[in-house]
Amino acid sequence: MAVFRNYDVEVVEGEIVLPALPIQHRSSFQEHVLPFSNIDLTIPAFGVHVLFYYEKPSEISITSVVSNLKISLSKAFVSFDAFAGRLVSNGVGDTELVCNNKGVDAFAGRLVTSLAQVEFYNRIVAVADTLVTEFSCVGIVVGCTFDHRVTDAFSAKMFFRNETIKSITSFTRYILVPRDPPNCYSEIDKMYIKLQSLQQPIKQIPEPRKASRIYYLGAKDIEKLQHRAKKHGNNYISKLEFFSAYFWKLLIQCQEIKDTINCNIRIAIDGRSHLKKMGMPANYFGNVLSTTFATANAGTIKEEPHSWVAKLIHDAINRAVNE
């Protein structure tokens, strides 16, 4: 049985960090309310935790580090004021992002343990919710948490690096409005099941236990996977496709899924490069993700070589990487 350790972070300092300047007027805002795009609404409501690990600087104090980060954060909010807003209900069942410059809670904390003692395969939510956490060793962690409906990893990276193109971040949503009338592709049928096709369960099946894990793979591990698949002539398959195939096979084997059961692996795809031709701004802030599925029964995935499963994933991605 897995052992889950709780990390109690001692908060030594805390305040709300506000944007350095008042809200800048944008014609695309209506009372500074940013509605979620059609793609934002496909993202589940869950928090994304991001952690950056550093050695404690020897030349300045932790207090100075926290102070400098708060100043930097305040300046970054001028271009990325969506991160300084609030998610609210509009009264008709939809959630919207109000860009009201309310700021974010920023805490400095202390953890009486060393980085070497931290179970990295577990999410450290308490640390992720703290701006800076000082460890008892030479390490410090800069952490943050944001709602995935607000942005994807690409836009978040723009914020972390303070990358703004022409100093203005684009929040326009016109390129992502739903089709009118709707136009559904046959691929949709592989991802979902019709409601009337569901049979009433004879007995209540208990919810399976879920756990979140973080795994580290070195470059040499990935090279081994690639070498194994290249033996079968699949030189065009990416590192992510190789790893996804390896992980998918492991997951099915360790759960002892029956051979006749159909299994899906879902892959998220960044659509920015494809929507650029249709007017997607390079500095667009929000979710621009599509999803594709590779499908096969469990028996086939167990029996077929790693290279075959990797090609199955590669072909599923190729079907989706377009306008």
73: number of Cβ within 10 Å: 23
> Could you write out the DSSP letters of every residue in 8-32?
--EEEEEEEE--SSPPPP-TT-BTT
pLDDT of residue 3: 36
95: number of Cβ within 10 Å: 15
Say what the pTM is: 0.78
Range 134-138 average pLDDT: 87
44 vs 41: CA distance, rounded Å? 8
Closest by CA position to 294, among listed 277, 271, 319, 276:
319
Please return the burial class of 159, using the count of CB atoms within 10 Å of its CB with bins 0-12, 13-18 and 19+: buried
pLDDT of residue 191: 66
**Integer angstrom CA distances of residue 157 from 15, 132, 161, 163:** 24, 19, 6, 8
Which residues is 33 bridged to in the sheet? 30, 98
Q: How many CA atoms lie within 13 A of 206 on its CB side?
A: 3
Which residues is 141 bridged to in the sheet? 53, 133
**Integer angstrom CA distances of residue 229 from 117, 129, 241, 242:** 36, 40, 10, 8
The single residue listed with the structure tokens 């028996």 is: 299
pLDDT of residue 30: 43
Q: Is the pLDDT of residue 178 over 80?
A: no
Q: Is the pLDDT of residue 123 over 90?
A: no
pLDDT-derived band at 136 (thresholds 50, 70, 90) equals confident
pLDDT of residue 16: 94
The CA-based angle 145-143-80, given to 5 degrees, is 60
- Read off the DSSP letter of residue 170: B
111 vs 88: CA distance, rounded Å? 33
Query: In sequence order, what are the residues at sequence separation of 6 or more whose Cβ sits closer than 8 angstroms to the Cβ of residue 1?
Result: none
pLDDT-derived band at 28 (thresholds 50, 70, 90) equals very low
- Read off the DSSP letter of residue 30: B
Q: What is the mean pLDDT of the chain?
A: 81
Closest by CA position to 2, among listed 116, 122, 114:
122
What are the structure tokens assigned to 171, written together?
């929040």
pLDDT of residue 10: 83
Work out the percent of the chain whose per-residue pLDDT is above 90. 22
Instruction: Say how many Å lie between the first and final Cα of the chain, rounded.
Output: 46
104 and 143 in contact (C-beta within 8 Å)? no
The helix or strand, by DSSP H or E, that contains position 222, with its residue range, turns out to be: helix 219-230
All domains of the chain, ordered by start, with CATH? 10-176 (3.30.559.10), 217-320 (3.30.559.10)
pLDDT-derived band at 200 (thresholds 50, 70, 90) equals low
Range 50-56 average pLDDT: 88
pLDDT-derived band at 2 (thresholds 50, 70, 90) equals very low
At position 218, the amino acid (one-letter code) is G
87 and 97 in contact (C-beta within 8 Å)? yes
